[in-house]
Amino acid sequence: MAERRVPLAKRHRKDRIFRRGCQIIASMSAGILAILLIAIVFEGVGALNANFLSGAPDPDPAVAGMFPAIMGSLWLLVLTMLVALPLGVAAAIVLEEFRPKHKVLRKAHAFIQLNITNLSGVPSVVFGILGLTVFVSMFGLFGNERDPLLETGATYVDQFYNQGDFIIEVPIDDPMAPETVPVDGMTIYTYEGTAMELNLLGDDDDWPEDEEIAMRSLYSWDLPGRNKERNWWYFRLPFGRGVLAGALTLMLVILPIIIISSQEALRAVPSSLRQASLGLGATPWQTVRRVTLPAAFPGILTGAIIAMSRAIGEAAPLLMIAGIVFITRAPSNLMDDFTAMPLQIYNWAGRPQKEFHDLAASGIIVLLTALLLFNAIAVFLRQKLQKPLS
């Protein structure tokens, strides 16, 4: 029995006050978010048109677009997930399903687990620095970007600009070979790639009148410049400041997230199912492959999508890899320079003119739409795929 009863009305009043207080605080946070969204839509919706999605950044804000940034983000996302998902799920399986039994190994297991948990809290800038040394320069073990140790998928040409402003190209096999010396009759190519025969003019010869001859003519003193053309399969060690290095750095950021969410999904699978499988004579791997992994799949997928939305919004580590550079086209190979949506937004927001701030707001709308889409897909899949397991 209570020694002194608090009047019932007083208890109800306290309850009301507390409930009201929580409601006000909760609606405040929702309100702040709403104001933010409204402001951004208000500012950004004006510049949001087809050209904004398909155009390239431009000094003139009226025609500037974020196509390269959208494509850059897409490249990053696909590459990041291609690497992070198998690695993360495999790590989660090892940590969760193949726990060591030996005492010393169990200590090591616990230590790794602790570190993964810690890594998920590390600021992403730190991963940026790591990516810079590990992926961009690769500890300097493979030379540098200009003089890489390994390079494939690049073709070299010596380019001449002749007196008539025609471009004449000579393919080069060895990038270190001395510059091409024009020889009469040698095979040359136009810029478009048509093969022709070189017409070498003597020092005293006049420039030919005939256009057909002029486009394949050179004086012996004409000097070439060496150009590198990268194919889509261009690959190089070290990676340099390309989209692959960016993706791998993002992979570092989201790997702990994927590992932890996959572990949680695996842990949610009732151990009675594992026992049933092992008891029927399945090997541990068969058990993972046929029972545990399928049962954990919806959870793993949801975690992966959440990780993707984290990756697409990251700016700090990419800033360290790519910097703020003026990029007007989508990446065309793994080593290509790139920009990404957050970088482009950051770039525009940092300019003094109001017009660019509006562009930044438009960019934010695009980014937020992508994020909301990811989260909606995650929720949808969770509802759709999650089945009772026992």
Partner 1 sequence: METTLVQESKPPKEKAKPVSALGMIAVDAAERRTPADEFADPSFEVQQLDFFYGDNQALTQVDMAIPRGEVTALIGPSGCGKSTFLRTLNRMNDLVAETRVEGKVLLDGQDIYHRQVDVVELRRRVGMVFQRPNPFPISIYENIAYGPRLQGKVSKADMDALVERCLHGAALWDEVKDRLHTSALGLSGGQQQRLCIARALANEPEVLLLDEPASALDPKATARIEDLIGQLRGDYTIVIVTHNMQQAARVSDHTGFFYKGRLVECTPTAQMFTRPEHQETEDYLTGRFG
Residues at the site binding partner 1, with contacts judged by CB under 8 A: 99, 101, 103, 106, 270, 272-273, 275-283, 286, 290-291, 295, 387-390
DSSP string across 344-383? HHHHHHTSSSHHHHHHHHHHHHHHHHHHHHHHHHHHHHHH
Residue 248 near residue 318 (C-beta atoms within 8 A): no
Q: Which is nearer to partner 1, 383 or 390 (CB)?
A: 390
Instruction: Tell me which amino acid residue 144 is.
Output: N
Nearest alpha-carbon partner for 54 in 33, 70, 31: 70
- Closest to partner 1 by CB, 11 vs 106, is 106
Q: How many CB atoms lie within 10 A of CB 99?
A: 12
Residue 99, token pair as written in the block: 């726990």
Q: Give the nearer residue to partner 1 in terms of CB position, either 287 or 347.
A: 287
Q: How far is the CB of 105 from partner 1 (least distance, A)?
A: 10
Task: Give the residue with the Cβ less far from partner 1, 216 or 274.
Answer: 274
Minimum distance between the CB of residue 383 and partner 1, rounded to whole angstroms?
Answer: 17
Residues in the chain: 390
Instruction: Please report the DSSP string for 307-338 in residue order.
Output: HHHHHHH--HHHHHHH-S----S---STTS--
**Helix 243-267, helix 124-131: angle, nearest 10:** 130
CA dihedral (116, 117, 119, 120) positive or negative: positive
- d(CA 98, CA 172) in angstroms, rounded, equals 53
Burial (Cβ within 10 Å: 0-12, 13-18, ≥19) of residue 87: middle
Q: Which is nearer to partner 1, 129 or 389 (CB)?
A: 389
Least spacing, CB of residue 299 vs partner 1, in Å: 14
> Which residue lies nearer to partner 1 by CB, 217 or 277?
277
Q: How far is the CB of 386 from partner 1 (least distance, A)?
A: 11
Separation between Cα atoms, residue 206 and residue 18, nearest integer Å: 96
CB 150 to partner 1: min, Å: 44
Output the smallest distance, CB 127 to partner 1, in A: 34
Where on the phi/psi map is residue 159: left (φ > 0), alpha (ψ -120 to 50), or beta? Answer: beta
* CA dist., res. 257 & res. 84, Å (int): 10
Give min distance, CB of 280 to partner 1, in A.
4
β-pairing verdict for 167-172 and 150-161 = antiparallel
Beta carbon of residue 278, minimum distance to partner 1 (angstroms, whole number): 7
The backbone torsions φ and ψ at residue 343, rounded to the nearest 5 degrees and listed phi first, read: -65, -45
Q: Which is nearer to partner 1, 23 or 272 (CB)?
A: 272
Nearest approach, Cβ of residue 286 and partner 1 (Å): 6
| Nearest to partner 1 of 42, 111 (CB atom) | 111
**Tokens 């594992």 sit at which residue?**
274
Residue 69 or 300: the one with the smaller Cβ distance to partner 1 is: 300
